[in-house]
């Protein structure tokens, strides 16, 4: 079939007519798409930022393993090997008690005289570990604690645990609401399209008599669904974008130490993803109705 | 052009609408399909248009088996046939011009051709100057002409009309028949189901008579009633 310009004009005119005719339903569909994709957008931004925070923490976070004072060289070496081969551990560094004291003195600087009075080094030997993934830290620390010769294991327990709980909670609640709202959006769009089909049933009958192909008849309805989905997605993207700009401005003032993701190359996929998802929701919603109600 | 071989149509409620009908409509024919109400005229027309399938028998259009046609082929097949309905089936919100252009739009014709063909078809049916009006602003006879313009605008091989004069006064019907004759003169085959015996008698065209679903008479330049 040759698709003349008249056909394309026809498609767009029909689509716009339908959208205007079903204005309340259209608005409701767009609204639900907007809300679900808005939540998804927020979730993605939060996820991107927490992973940035976790990355920063990861580079800072280390596990300090303090050793008992009565170990000999071979025992220390043996422990070193054990730690190195522990799954999830990326780096192991031995810090002798002399070195620990030295770095402590350096960091104390001018207050050096406090330690001048010490006749003996009070610090134990220790290992400084880096993990491949912060989430593994609690597990690894618990394992190490059971090793012979280890007196104590210290790491940023509270921060990590809290962060993990928060991200987990955010993930589950937003994913659940996104799925529920996404399905609602698909359903509402399919109803909107069903109403459009109903309004145009007479025309559809005439089109069949005039030799219109099934795809020609279906296309404006698919287009209507795509327009609904895309409009909702566009609206969601704009709201998320503006909201995020405001939020990062606020954070830059109140919590400048937080590593906020603001680079456009990291954020663009989020907005693009929302738009694509909007189109998919629209396509899904209209396909359902077009195939069920336009048996031609 | 259209051949029916032993076509039988039994509807779901067991009513036999067509009973073993064999018929050949030749290219350029002008065929009146007559018979009492319930004889099966509309059913026959629907089967040719592939709106429904026969229970038994075959229908062949220009060598193509209509019964065994794939669903995807149906639209393209229908473009070869123009349909004129007793109840017009025009789109009320659209202008006359748009109604006629619609037949071209839905088959993907370019704007360039639509601008050429739609006015031509309106001219043939004598509706120049009324392009911008809506169907409700026209008389029944004029609406029927719009319907005919829409049916002929893409130059079909066959024009089917099911009781096109059913709602029209005798004078208007007569004008309409002249129009059909003119269209037939351009080479379009015409099949027209009708109860208008006066028209059939005066036109002296081929008459195919159905009764109770059976083909009871097929005469070149026949009359509405046998022996009239
Ligand atoms: N969709 C249908 N379902 C069941 N029976 C039908 C259907 N359509 C037609 N019939 C029956 O088939 C027979 C033929 O009907 P058809 O409409 O073809 O007659 P017709 O010759 O066009 O009559 P008329 O002159 O009144 O238009 C009738 O008995 C009718 O009741
Ligand atoms: Mg009939």
- CB proximity list for B70: less than 8 A, separation 6 or greater: none
Look at B83 and A209 and tell me if their CB atoms are within 8 Å.
yes
Cα–Cα distance between A182 and A190 in angstroms, integer? 12
DSSP A105-149: HHHHGGGGHHHHT-SS--PPPEEEEEES-GGGHHHHHHHHHTSTT
- Left if phi > 0, otherwise alpha if psi is -120 to 50, otherwise beta: which for B210? beta
Asked whether B198 and B170 are in contact (CB, 8 A), the reply is yes
Query: Residue A142: which pLDDT band, with cuts at 50, 70 and 90?
Result: confident
pLDDT above 80 for B213: yes
Model pLDDT, residue A6: 64
Closest ligand 1 atom to Cα of B13:
4
Query: Residue B19: which pLDDT band, with cuts at 50, 70 and 90?
Result: very high
pLDDT above 60 for A2: no
pLDDT above 60 for A133: yes
- Secondary structure letter of residue B136 according to DSSP: G
A225: Cα within 13 Å, side-chain hemisphere: 28
DSSP A6-61: HHHHHHHHHHHHHHHHTHHHHHHHHHHHHHHHHHHHHHHHHHHHHHHHHHHHHHH-
pLDDT above 80 for A163: no
CB of B11 closer than 6 angstroms to any ligand 1 atom: yes
Model pLDDT, residue B53: 95
Closest ligand 1 atom to Cα of B45:
18
- A interface with B, Cβ–Cβ < 8 A, is 1-7, 9-10, 202-203, 205-214, 216
Cα–Cα distance between B11 and B15 in angstroms, integer? 5
- Restricting to B residues 132-191, those with a Cβ less than 8 Å away from any Cβ of A are 150
The H or E element containing residue B5 is strand B2-10
Low-confidence winner among A100-109, A141-150, A189-198, B160-169 (lowest mean pLDDT): A100-109
Cα–Cα distance between A190 and A197 in angstroms, integer? 10
CB of B38 closer than 6 angstroms to any ligand 1 atom: yes
**Percentage of chain B lying above the pLDDT 90 cut:** 81
Model pLDDT, residue A113: 61
Q: Which of A34, A11, A28, A31 is nearest to A191 (CA)?
A: A28
CB of B14 closer than 6 angstroms to any ligand 1 atom: no
Burial B107-119 (b: 16+ CB within 10 A, else e): bbbebeebeebbb
- Restricting to B residues 95-114, those with a Cβ less than 8 Å away from any Cβ of A are 101-114
Nearest CA-CA distance, residue A287 and chain B, Å? 19
Burial A75-109 (b: 16+ CB within 10 A, else e): ebeebeebbeebeebeebebbebeebeeeeeeeee
Cα–Cα distance between A75 and A44 in angstroms, integer? 48
Residue B37 backbone phi and psi in degrees, to 5: -60, 135
CB of B41 closer than 6 angstroms to any ligand 1 atom: yes
The ligand whose atoms approach the alpha carbon of B39 most closely is 1
ipTM: 0.88
Average pLDDT, chain B: 93
- CB proximity list for B212: less than 8 A, separation 6 or greater: B16, B19, B38, B39, B40
Report the length, in residues, of chain B: 228
The pLDDT tens digits of the residues spanning B155-193 come to 999 999 999 988 788 888 888 899 999 999 999 999 999
The pLDDT tens digits of the residues spanning A236-245 come to 999 999 999 9
Mutational test site, ligand 1, from B7, B18, B32, B40, max ligand atoms within 8 Å of CB? B40
**Percentage of chain A lying above the pLDDT 90 cut:** 18
Asked whether B78 and B61 are in contact (CB, 8 A), the reply is no
Model pLDDT, residue B227: 54
Model pLDDT, residue A111: 57
pLDDT above 70 for B70: yes
Look at B108 and A7 and tell me if their CB atoms are within 8 Å.
yes
Q: Does B75 touch chain A (CB under 8 A)?
A: yes
pLDDT above 90 for A276: yes
CB of B37 closer than 6 angstroms to any ligand 1 atom: yes
- Name residues with Cβ closer than 5 Å to ligand 2, which is an ion: B 42
The pLDDT tens digits of the residues spanning A21-64 come to 777 888 888 888 899 899 889 888 888 887 777 777 666 667 88
Nearest CA-CA distance, residue B225 and chain A, Å? 32
């Amino acid at each position: 079939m040759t698709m003349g310009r008249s056909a394309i004009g026809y498609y767009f005119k029909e689509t716009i007519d339908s959208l205007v005719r079903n204005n309340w339903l259209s608005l409701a569909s767009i609204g639900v798409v907007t809300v679900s994709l808005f939540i998804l957008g927020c979730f993605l931004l939060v996820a991107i930022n927490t992973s940035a925070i976790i990355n920063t923490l990861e580079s800072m976070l280390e596990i300090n393993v303090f050793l008992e004072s009565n170990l000999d060289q071979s025992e220390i070496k043996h422990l070193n090997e054990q730690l190195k081969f522990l799954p999830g551990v990326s780096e192991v560094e031995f810090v002798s008690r002399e070195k620990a004291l030295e770095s402590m003195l350096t960091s104390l600087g001018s207050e050096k005289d406090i330690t001048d009075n010490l006749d003996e080094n009070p610090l134990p030997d220790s290992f400084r570990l880096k993990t491949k993934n912060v989430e593994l830290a609690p597990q690894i620390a618990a394992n190490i604690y059971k090793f012979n010769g280890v007196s104590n294991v210290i790491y940023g327990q509270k921060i990590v645990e809290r962060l993990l709980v928060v991200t987990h909670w955010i993930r589950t609640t937003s994913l659940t609401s996104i799925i529920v709202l996404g399905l609602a959006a698909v359903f509402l769009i399919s109803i909107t399209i069903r109403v459009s089909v109903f309004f145009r049933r007479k025309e559809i009958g005439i089109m069949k008599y005039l030799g219109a192909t099934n795809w020609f008849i279906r296309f404006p309805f698919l287009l209507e669904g795509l327009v609904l989905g895309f409009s909702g997605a566009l609206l969601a993207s704009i709201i998320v974008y503006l909201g995020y700009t405001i939020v990062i401005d606020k954070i830059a003032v109140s919590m400048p130490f937080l590593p906020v993701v603001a680079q456009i190359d990291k954020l663009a996929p989020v907005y693009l993803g929302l738009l694509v998802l909007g189109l998919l929701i629209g396509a899904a919603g209209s396909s359902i109705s077009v195939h069920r109600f336009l048996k031609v | 052009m259209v051949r029916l071989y032993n076509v039988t149509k039994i509807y779901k409620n067991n009513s036999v609408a067509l009973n073993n009908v064999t018929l050949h409509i030749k290219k350029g024919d002008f065929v009146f399909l007559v018979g009492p109400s319930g004889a099966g005229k509309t059913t026959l027309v629907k089967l040719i248009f592939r709106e429904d399938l026969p229970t038994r028998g075959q229908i062949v259009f220009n060598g193509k088996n209509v019964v065994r046609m794939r669903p995807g082929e149906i639209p393209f097949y229908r473009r070869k046939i123009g349909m004129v309905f007793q109840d017009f089936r025009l789109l009320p919100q659209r202008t006359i011009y748009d109604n006629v252009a619609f037949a071209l739009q839905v088959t993907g014709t370019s704007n360039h051709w639509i601008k050429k063909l739609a006015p031509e078809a309106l001219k043939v049916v004598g509706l120049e100057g009324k392009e911008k009006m809506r169907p409700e602003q026209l008389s029944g006879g004029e609406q029927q002409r719009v319907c005919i313009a829409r049916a002929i605008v893409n130059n079909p091989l066959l024009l089917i009309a099911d009781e096109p004069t059913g709602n029209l006064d005798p004078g208007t019907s007569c004008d309409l028949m002249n129009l059909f004759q003119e269209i037939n003169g351009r080479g379009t085959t015409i099949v027209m189901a009708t109860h208008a015996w006066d028209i059939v008698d005066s036109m002296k065209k081929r008459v195919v008579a159905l009764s109770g679903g059976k083909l009871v008479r097929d005469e070149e330049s026949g009359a509405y009633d046998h022996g009239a």
